Amino acid sequence: MKFPFQTIALIGKYQTPSIAEPLLHLAAFLAGRGVAVVVGSRTAEHLKDHPYRVMALGEMGGVVDLAIVLGGDGTMLNIARTLAPFGVPLVGVNQGRLGFLTDISLDTMLQTIAAMLEGEFVTEPRMLLSTRVLRNGAEVCAELALNEVTVHRDNASNMIEFEVRIDGEYLYNQRADGLIVSTPTGSTAYALSSGGPILHPGLDIIELVPVCPHTLSNRPIVVKSESVIEIGIQMYHASYVRVRFDSHSSFDLQAKDRLEVTRYSKPIRLLHPVGHSYYHTLREKLLWNKTL
């Protein structure tokens, strides 16, 4: 039988030797069904002798039909940012508790993946953010983010001063500890802990959430996903200001730097088991099913 996925990449949480056993178990399961298995190069460092092809993430585009990520949501964030330009769909297997992005447990992994090989899955597109940092008109940094782009102070007591414009129109000047520009996916991450609303991941919107603003009148705001969000760093002694992308990479900013944040042209595609429910995940992760 010809499965919808002929070549599958297996990628484990970085620097986690304990991932080797379940990953090799899954690899043998897939190979036994005629699927070509590829192992991420950094994951392969924790595997002993194995017969599978090893590839770096950046080499997988056009080669693999699916990537299965074993780890947690943090691992998935990093892999999603890297594979997004190639359009590779992703499946998440969580090592621990249920995750927002990695929703398959190790206990049900083989059963669930077997059903997916038969075409029993639902596809969920998730938007990403694309950010350019401009310095004196020249681009000095460009990154993607699945959860959020955060401008924040770095180990300093002073607040950040910045200006925000939406589609070229002035919105406000702000003094705060930082500003979070979040996708709906990221609304349950840093944005939530900073007072932002929970957004269904199917929405085409972007939220801006200030971190500890100096004025109580400043509140989160939601804008359309087609918006061009500009953040201008105003403080002159701003060597401690940093922009962070999904907590996986960062870039030091200077006074007068300007950030342009837009929706990335390609969404990622998460594959879930049939019957997957975002609201069930919310209840489990946020303990809404517990009585006080």
Catalytic (active-site) positions = 73
Q: Which segments within the chain are labelled E, that is strand?
A: 7-12, 36-40, 53-55, 66-71, 90-94, 104-105, 122-126, 129-135, 138-145, 148-153, 160-166, 169-176, 178-182, 205-211, 221-224, 229-233, 241-245, 249-252, 258-263, 268-272
Amino acid identity for residue 217 in this structure: S
Residue closest to 122 by CA, chosen among 260, 246, 275, 287: 275
CA angle 179, 204, 196 (to 5 degrees): 35
| Helix, strand, or coil (residue 44) | helix
Cα(211)–Cα(194) distance, integer angstroms? 6
* Residues 90-99 as b or e (16 or more Cβ within 10 Å = b): bbbbbbeeeb
Residue type for 277, please? S
